[in-house]
Each structure stands twice: as structure tokens, then as C-alpha cells.
Structure 1
Amino acid sequence: MRRTAAVWAGKATGVLSRFSRLGGGTTLPGDVARAIDPDVLRKLSRDLKHGAIVVTGTNGKTTTARLVTWLLEGAGHSVVSNRAGANLIFGATAAALERAGANGRLHADWGVFEIDEASLERAVEEIRPRAAVVLNLFRDQLDRYGELEAIAKRIEGALARLSDDSHAVMNADDPRVAEIGLNLKRKPLWFGLDDPAVALHELPHAADARTCPRCGASLIFEAVYVGHDGVYHCPNGDFARPAPDLVATHIGLNGFDSVALGVSGVRIELPLGGLYNAYNALAAFAAGNALGFEPAYIAERFRTVQAAFGRQERLEAKGRKLNVVLSKNPAGFNETLRTAVDLAGGHWFLIGLNDRRADGTDVSWVWDVDFERLRGRSRVVVPAGNRADDLAVRLKYAGVEAQPPESDPARAIDALIEATPEGETAHLLCTYTAMLDLRAELVRRGWAKPYWET
């Protein structure tokens, strides 16, 4: 009775939230339902016919979870997923509520939930997943998470609670993720990249995991792919990258249009760009492998996946093409800039910076973003968001000529549209709530769908 009441209250809250346009009903229903029955997610998760997969890490959760969902749906399974990106425990609860029936039961074969790193312990306890995917650990929202070592310990504690028939699927290229996996009692399924042609040979200045977790010596990197992810070893022999069980080779990068990689004898072609999406594709491939899918099926299915909202989301606006890309920390921002400028040849930019709780209230991290990459190559840069003035200062120090800062989303979009020639592509690189603000204005103009409908 209590569970059914919680489901009905949560579902009613979701309908009211969407009807009133106060939100997408992606979080608040979970809050309401859990207030009535704190065990509602645990109970609903037991209804899943085959179980659940959780995806965690700093960057790439939404895209990787969407890829795993796409695999399962293509095989004829019904899947419940927090596809709008609400990744706290309340968002996972809200997603389960939406698919629950009038009898309070969840009718689905699988659950695929992206989970905030700080929420993983609770998610593992309540959802009891069959597989947990750990993508990476980069510096992000220090005011909320603390240092990487602290969040790594929390993730390690969560993975240690996985049931004996569950799989940990982990990125061998990330030293902090590798440290977690090597401390587990059962060996994870490791994945990693192996293509020197797309690698750097030294760490970027903003790299986080530089030292051996055993002895403190500086790690030696033979290859660097994204942030501090790469091939590494301790000079004292105390620590090294675990040998990957699944390796991506012969990586092809085509701006924001696509990324290709060879895995297990098949060629993966993903209609999303950037080297970071090679990691997302490989992680989803590894999860699919753990669930028993054939490599050929995974490769064929990945060809037709669509981007999640705000993750290389392509829109049309007055004859211009808009590419909306979430960029929320130094490692992620540097990769989206690298893809936009070096690989896609971008010239027209709107960069959005907010300091709300979901972004992190401390924005000093923008000084670790390589905005210098835009110098002499961008034709228009519009600083936007509620911290547009701070961003304008950072761009000035980078030697980037930018338009006047604009905190109002409508005026910022107008400035970008006016400066971008018809037929060209403008890139909107934004922190999370800055992206939501800009998308809300694009929705108001009829240029985008509400995020909960994507």
C-alpha cells in the first residue's frame, strides 16, 4: 500500500511539473515518492526482469548510458532509464516511477541508470545492479565533491558491495579508476585505448592524476588520450595501467561528426565526435560484452544512435547550424575545445558559464581551460551565463577577442546568430545549467524540444 501510494504521488508530481512547465518531472517526483516510501526505488528495482546497469564517472555518463540503452532496446528489451540526465538517487527514482503501472509495479526488462559519483553507494545498495561501469575521475565541482581521492574511496566502497554475480566494468587508462579496480576482490573487466596516432606524449597542464597512489612518485606516461587518461607506469614499479581486456585501436576522428574505432575484430562507427566519445563507445561496448551481446550486433547498433540533449545536440536556427556541447570541467572543456577548433575547424562560439549548485559554485577552474586554443582561430566568441563577466576576463588573458559578455540567454543567442553567417555551424560550449538556460530559450523559439522529450 505504501509503495503504491508513493508511485501514484510521484507520477502525479511528474505530470503536474511538466504541465506547469516548471520542470521536466525528472527529479521532483523522486523526492515526493521517497518521502512517502524511502524504499520505493529498492522495491521497483526488484521488478526489473533482467536487472540493471549503472554508469558513473565524471564525464560521459549520459552518452554511455544512452548507448547501453540503445543496445538493449535494439534487442527487443523494454528499458527504464534516466535519459534526461537527472543522475542523483532522486532522478533514478523518478525514472522508475514514470514507467511504473497503476498497481505500483515497474514493468520493464532492464534498468540503465547514470549515477552521480557521490550517489553511487546508495544506488548500488538500492538498485543492486548486474553491472557497474566506471568511466573516469576528473576534477569537478570541488566545492561539492572534494578532491579526487575522496570520491575515489567512495566509489571503491560502493563497488565492493556489488553482488557476486555482478560485473565492474572499468577504464584502465584512468589512474584513479585503475587504483579503485585493483583494490577490489574480484577483477574488473578493463577497457582502454591503444592508438599512438591520436595520443599526446605529455600530460596537459590541467591533468589531475599525476602520481603513483602507492609511493607518490610522478607517473610516467607513454601516451595521453584525454586529460590524465592514457598509458602510464610508476618509475619504481609500484603501479601501472592494468592490461585492458577490451582495447580500441585504429581510431578515426572526424570533428563532431563521428568517431571510429576497432574493437574485438569489428569496426565501430559512432555518429558523435571527439576522442572522449571513443571512451564512451568502448565503455558501452564493454558493458554490452559483459551482458553477452555479439560484437557485430553492437557495431551495427551504434551506427544509428542519436545524441543526448546538450551532448553534441544538433539544431537549426535561422539558416545556421547549432552544436550544443556540455563542457563542465577542465578535462571536458579542453577536449570539446580541441574537437571544435582542431578537428571541426570551428570559428563561431558561444561559451556559457554558470555557478549554480549543479555547476559548482567555484568557477576558478576556468583558468585551467585552454581557451588560448581559440586565439587567432575564432571569429566570434560570445561569453554567456551568469558568470559571463568572469569568462570575459579569462578570455582576455588568453588573448581571445570576444564580444561583450551577455548574461541574458536570449540576447546571447541573438548575438551569436547575428555574427554567424548563414549555412555555418556555431558551437555552444556550456556548463550544465548554462546549457539548460540556453536550451530553454531555444525551446521557447521553437528551435529545440524540451529536454525531457529528447
Structure 2
Amino acid sequence: MVFRLRLITAIFVARAVMWLVRLLGRGRGSSLPGMVALRICPGILAHLARQARRGVVMVTGTNGKTTTNNMVARIAGEAGYRVVVNAEGANMITGITTAFLRKASLWGRVDCDYALLEVDEATFPRVTRQVRPDLVVVTNFFRDQLDRYGELDTTVSLIREALEKLPGTGLVLNADDPLVASLAAAAGGEVLYYGLGEHRRVTSSSSAAREGRFCPRCGQELAYAYYQYSQLGNYRCPGCGFSRPPAGVEGTEVLPEERRTTCRLRSPAGDYELVIPVPGLYNLYNGLAAFTAGLVLGVEPRVITRALAGYTPATGRMERFRYREKPVLLNLVKNPTGFNEGLGTLLSLPGPVDVLIAINDNDADGRDISWLWDVDFEVLEEEHRHVNLLVCTGQRGAEMAVRLKYAGVPLEKIVVEEMSRAVERVLNGPGKTACLLATYTALWPVERILSGYARRENRVESLPSVS
């Protein structure tokens, strides 16, 4: 009786907080309602999550969590399932609780088939103590926010130890990342791998940070037949023999284009063409992870490929706008590997390109911005003719400008501006296209300013079954 009273009170107050946040225009209310509800009724998340009729899917890893989870949500919606999903990327325990609260009745009933939850790596052990997943999808592991996560092996250990306490939980793992593939040893249920085969854009070397290129079993440096990017590729340990496992779902014949990426896909259910309507090899990995999860959920492969072909990115995930006749791309950057891939996309755009880089150092971004020195900004010196203007903004815009200076970017191309003026300057620059790169807490104000000037071309999806 006491729990029931706490539950109803928590839901009522959380709903009031949601309404108030939106009324005051103070954000999307994706975390605060959950925080309040957990204070009132600490057991509310476990209670609500148990009501997912067909089970709980969790997506974790460094990059691609939001995109992969939202792709899985679209697949489930296309298949006719009702889902709970934290689509905005609020992946701490408060944001996950808020996702359930949005679907809950005032009496604490949740009508859903699946709970599809993006979960922060450091939060994963805590969440799994309250919500037992039936399937866990792991995207990749890269160095990210040392002040929050610590060294990379600490993050991997946290996930491994949590998985060891989940007997019967299935895993979908990235075969091309040795750190992710090593988690199979902790699996309590079935493991299915996804990855990319060799194609004409693989490389024989990689200049990215090397932490992930040592054998997770014996510590020797891995030998690579080829790299996709960073430590992702076809690897083998010369010491203990640990190697890339065969991928049950594998992409081949990769064809990157300006607005989409396609590949041939080989799977246990047959061969298909996979079309991901956003650019970037990393988004193709997200699509492969989502396809594999869809198979595990029992969705028909043609339904999966149709859902992925119609996917619309969340805010700041390769989101396209148009200002007058000028194409504009908005993308989140949060660690060296993700930033390097963003720079690769920038340099593939029709040039010259006007560029905005917005760097904040709030808690959600990571207070330590030394990671910027691990980003390969030196490519902008080599390709500086492709870039018309680099406008730095945000709380650490000046430090970003210094980093570009030491990367060898011509000084006349580097500008530091207040955020509103920075967005306006980039939009009105003489370049053919504009590319806006922002850390997490800078992303939302940049998007809000940008939306006041430009029209969104690939609108964020809002399916009733996915909200």
C-alpha cells in the first residue's frame, strides 16, 4: 500500500514537472521528471520496466548509442510493436526513468511490448541492477571524457562485470572492435556478431589513438590485415591467437554517398541491400547493429531494411538543414574518434565549407577538454583550401581556436565569436555548404539558433509508437 501511494505520487509530480519545464521553455524535460520520481519512489524504474511484455533491449558503448537505439525503435514500430524509448539520448538513470514515465498511466500501468533503452556506459551497471535486459547491443569503445569514465579499460571492465551478472542475456557485439568482441567471454546467453568485411575504402594503417589496439586478453599489440577506422578492422593477436570473430551479419560492397551509405548485407536470414539515409561509415555500423538486433527480436528482414531506409536522425546526428540555397549539416562531436569521423565528413562536403565548432565543458560534455589535442585537426591544414572559415564558439571557443592554430590552420581562417553571431556568420559565409560541429550541451543552443534561420530537411521522427 505504501509503495502504491509513493508510485502514484511520483508519477503525478513527474507529470507536473514535465508540464512546467515545457511551459517555461527550459528544455525537453528528458531527465528532471525521472530525477524527481526516483526521489519520491526509488523502486519506480524497476516496477515500470517489468511491464515490457516482450522484453528489454539496452544499447551501450561509446559512439552511436542514440542512433542505433532509435533505429531499433523504428524497426520495432514498423513491425507493429509498442515501445518505450529514450529517443532524445537522455541515457542516465533519470532519463531512462523519464522515458517510462511518459508512457505510464497515473496508476503506474505501462502498455508496451519492448523497452528500448540507450544506456550510458558508466551508468550501465547501476541500470542493470534495476532493469534486467533480455538483449544488450554494444557499439564500440573509444576513449571518451577521461574525467567521467577514466581510462578505456575501466569502461570495458564495468560493462564486462555487469554482463557477468546477467545470465541468459543475449549479446549483439561489434566483431570489428576487439574490445567489444572480447565481451563474448562474459556472455550468459547467445552472442551474435555484426561487422564490415573488406571493401575498397579500408586502409592498411590508422593514425587514430591506439588504446584499443592491444589484445584485451594478453596485452600484446594486435596485428591488422586492414582497418575500417580507429581500432576497428580485421585483427589478430600474434601472442594468444585472439582474433576477429566471424560476423553473422556482415556488410560488403560499401558505397558511401553524400546523403546516404549503402552496402550488401549477408545475414543468417539471407542477403539484402542495406540503405542508411545518412552519410558516414560509423552510421553504417549503427545500421548493422540495429539490423542484427531486429533479427534477434524476430522482425522480418525486409521490414528491417525498409525501416532503416526511412530512418530520420535525431537532433545533431548528421542532421540536414537548408539556409536559403545553402546546405547545412549539424553533428554532435564528443571524443577524438567521433570528431575525426566528423572531420572526414566535413571534407567530403562540396567546398569550400564554412565551419562552426562549438565546445562546452559542462558535466555532460566532460570538464577536461584535453581530448581536443587527440583529434586530428592537422587534416585541416592539409586540406585548408576546402575550408573557407572556421568559427569557434561556446564556453571553450578560445581554446578551440588555439588548438586549430597549433594544427597549422591559417590564422586568417580562424575566428572566435559569441554563439548567436557565430551561427549567423557561418550561415552567411561565402562557402558552398556549412558544417556545424558541437559538443553535447552546445548542440541544443546551436540547434535552436540554427532552427530560427534554416529549415530542417530530415525532420526528427515522432512516431506515436516510439514517443
TM-score by length of 2: 0.91
Aligned length: 450
Aligned equivalents of 1:413, 1:15: Cα separation in 2: 30
Q: Tell me if 1:250 matches 2:258.
A: no
1:182-193 alignment to 2 at 5 Å? 182-193=185-196
TM-fit CA distance, 1:388: 1.0
Contact 1:65 1:112 in 2 (8 A): yes
Gaps of 5+ in 2: none
Contact 2:176 2:244 in 1 (8 A): yes
Amino acid at match of 1:393: V
Aligned equivalents of 1:74, 1:452: Cα separation in 2: 13
Partner of 2:174: 171
Contact 1:139 1:330 in 2 (8 A): yes
TM-fit CA distance, 1:443: 4.3
Q: Tell me if 1:428 matches 2:436.
A: yes
TM-fit CA distance, 1:109: 1.9
TM-fit CA distance, 1:369: 1.1
Contact 1:214 1:238 in 2 (8 A): no
Alignment partner of 1:409 out of 419, 426, 431: 419
Residues 136 and 368 (structure 1), Cα distance of their counterparts in 2 relative to 1, 3 Å cut: same
Alignment partner of 2:10 out of 6, 10, 33: 6
Residues 100 and 33 (structure 1), Cα distance of their counterparts in 2 relative to 1, 3 Å cut: same
Contact 1:156 1:181 in 2 (8 A): no
Alignment partner of 1:100 out of 90, 101, 104: 104
Contact 2:78 2:303 in 1 (8 A): no
Aligned equivalents of 1:153, 1:195: Cα separation in 2: 29
Could you say what secondary structure the match of 1:117 adopts? coil
Amino acid at match of 2:427: I
Aligned equivalents of 2:438, 2:46: Cα separation in 1: 34
TM-fit CA distance, 1:242: 1.9
Partner of 2:361: 355
Could you say what secondary structure the match of 2:58 adopts? strand
Partner of 2:317: 311
Alignment partner of 1:439 out of 447, 453, 457: 447
Residues 145 and 2 (structure 1), Cα distance of their counterparts in 2 relative to 1, 3 Å cut: same
Partner of 2:333: 327
Partner of 1:233: 236
Partner of 1:208: 211
Gaps of 5+ in 1: none
TM-fit CA distance, 1:442: 2.8
Contact 2:166 2:188 in 1 (8 A): no
RMSD: 2.1
1:55-454 alignment to 2 at 5 Å? 55-164=59-168, 166-255=169-258, 257-263=259-265, 264=267, 265-342=271-348, 347-375=353-381, 376=384, 377-401=386-410, 403-421=413-431, 424-443=432-451
Share of identical aligned residues, percent?
A: 39
TM-fit CA distance, 1:407: 4.8
Amino acid at match of 2:200: A
Deviation string 1:143-168 (CA, Å, 9 cap, x unpaired) is 0100111111110122223342x311
Contact 1:24 1:451 in 2 (8 A): no
Amino acid at match of 1:16: L
Residues 154 and 30 (structure 1), Cα distance of their counterparts in 2 relative to 1, 3 Å cut: same
Residues 344 and 4 (structure 1), Cα distance of their counterparts in 2 relative to 1, 3 Å cut: farther
1:26-37 alignment to 2 at 5 Å? 26-37=30-41
TM-fit CA distance, 1:127: 2.3
Aligned equivalents of 1:344, 1:189: Cα separation in 2: 38
TM-score by length of 1: 0.94
